[in-house]
Amino acid sequence: MAETNLSHVKEFIILGFSDLPNLQDILFGIFLYIYINTLIGNGLIIVITKSDAALQTPMYFFLGNFAFLEICYTSVTLPRMLSDIWTQNKNISLLACAAQLCFFLILVVTESLLLTVMAFDRYVAICKPLYYTVIMNHKMCVQLVVASWITVVPIMVVQTFQVFSLPFCDSNILNHIFCDMPPLMKLACGDKSWNEVLVYAEVSLFGFIPFLLILYSYIRIFITIQKLPSAIGRSKAFSTCSSHLMVVGLFYGSGIIAYLQPKTSCLAGMEKMLSLFYTIITPMFNPLIYSLRNKDIIMAMKKLLSK
């Protein structure tokens, strides 16, 4: 497909794990198990935070929205992977690939912003407790969530359009598990400098800056916690933040490893495994992290299951 441009590329071929033909049934079972657990775990978080009167606070409002985001985030890639393994049809149309990339970019950036909002909520609760109910009122919480969802939509749509406006040369085979930015950029030819500038700008705006804001929030939180006179108070304050810190670490840690490592030293198989980690493994673990380390959610879950 040398010298082939966008107008002639009608579809891509996503290789996925086709290099493991004897493990297709096992992989299908593993991914299906992960997807079901992700839906159940995050679905329970949504139901609990909406139905239990004791959890009608800003922290659990954000947590419920985060759980819904995780379901959407996983559903962009995993059902398609399951279908490809089951049917052994690796082809994906140009439009479907563009849609998958666009939704994936929107959701991954929304997750970054929502994690920042959740860190801000903990900052206000611990560092400015007397003003918490005034600052984090219901209207403010809704505005922060809506802003996290819709702010990035036009930007990511433009970014997707820019990627698929490039000519694709030599091959239409994506040696990846879904239509992600790095493998698509590898297939693109021509002048990619403008696209690379946009990518770096968006990573800085929606990745690095939110990470710095989260880091600043938790530095202030830890300073405030250390000043608390009671050891029990310090432990309780830290416990409300530890789950969120673990989720932030998983999200940004896996993203940094996957996207910022030198590509020349990264095998395709390693890229796929890292992509699996930040697209389907972390959304499955996040409900466990929040529920196992949160007594309020455990109590609410027991009441729900008893009914």
- pLDDT(6) > 50: no
At 23 the three-state DSSP class reads helix
DSSP per-residue string spanning 32-53:
HHHHHHHHHHHHHHHHHHHH-G
Which residue, chain included where needed, has tokens 């529920």? 291
In terms of DSSP bridges, do strands 173-174 and 11-14 run parallel, antiparallel, or are they unpaired? parallel
Q: Could you give the domains of the chain?
A: 11-306 (1.20.1070.10)
- pLDDT(299) > 50: yes
**Which one has a higher pLDDT value, 263 or 274?**
274
At 173 the three-state DSSP class reads strand
Q: Is 94 exposed, middle or buried (0-12, 13-18, 19+ CB in 10 A)?
A: middle
* 94 Cβ neighbours under 8 A, 6+ residues apart: 6, 9, 10, 11, 12, 164
Which residue, chain included where needed, has tokens 């096992």? 26
Q: Name which of 103-107, 124-128, 266-270 the model is least confident about.
A: 266-270
Q: Residue 90 has what DSSP assignment? A: -
- pLDDT(2) > 90: no
pLDDT band at 176 (very low <50, low <70, confident <90, very high): confident
- Mean pLDDT is highest, among 10-19, 81-90, 114-123, 291-300, for 114-123
* 77 Cβ neighbours under 8 A, 6+ residues apart: 100, 104, 177, 178, 279, 280
pLDDT at 260: 60
Model pTM score: 0.88
Q: Centre a 10 Å sphere on the Cβ of residue 44 and count the other Cβ atoms it contains.
A: 18
pLDDT at 23: 84
CA distance 17 to 177: 7
* 290 Cβ neighbours under 8 A, 6+ residues apart: 45, 63, 243, 247, 297
Q: Centre a 10 Å sphere on the Cβ of residue 17 and count the other Cβ atoms it contains.
A: 18
Residue 124 identity (one-letter amino acid): V
pLDDT at 267: 57
